[in-house]
Amino acid sequence: MSYQPKELTEKFVQAYRSLSKENVAMLEDVYHQDVVFEDPAHRMEGWQNLEGYFDRLFENVSSCAFDIHETVEQGNVAYVQWTMHFSHPRISNGEIRQVKGCSRLEFAEGKVQCHRDYFDMGEMIYEGIPLLGNVVRHLKARL
């Protein structure tokens, strides 16, 4: 069966729009068994490791949702621009935080084989921690 990048990107987008702690297993239909996933803090290989990562993520956050703004496909590669809305009990007193980012996806055999997220880790976590957040924001302003 032949898949088009636009179709695979839409499948990814729909999965992330509905992603929750109750349905992490549905991502197995999106990701290749030999997926390589990277973000500013993690690198993992294989679907089982990625599934474990998502399970731990949802155990630690109070809420997490994605708004997808734009997608671009070329060949077997797609870029997805998004905003993640999340809350964590130990960051910003559990208030909802927003982080803008972009995912680069490579497709193989009708699934995502490589997924690399780009976002500002300082914006995501460090700015939400008392005292440290003030330092990070001050440093960013000085740059």
- Name 107's Cβ contacts closer than 8 Å, sequence gap at least 6: 3, 5, 8, 76, 77, 78, 113
Count of positions (residues) in the chain: 143
Confidence grade of residue 40 (pLDDT, cut at 50, 70, 90): very high
* pTM for the model: 0.84
* Phi (first) and psi of residue 42, to 5 degrees: -140, 155
Q: What average pLDDT does this structure show over 100-110?
A: 97
Torsion, Cα of 87, 88, 94, 98 (10° steps): -30
Look at domain 5-142 and name its CATH class.
alpha beta
Ranges of each domain in the chain: 5-142
CA distance 74 to 121: 27
Stretch 36-65: mean pLDDT: 93
pLDDT band for position 90 (cuts 50, 70, 90): confident
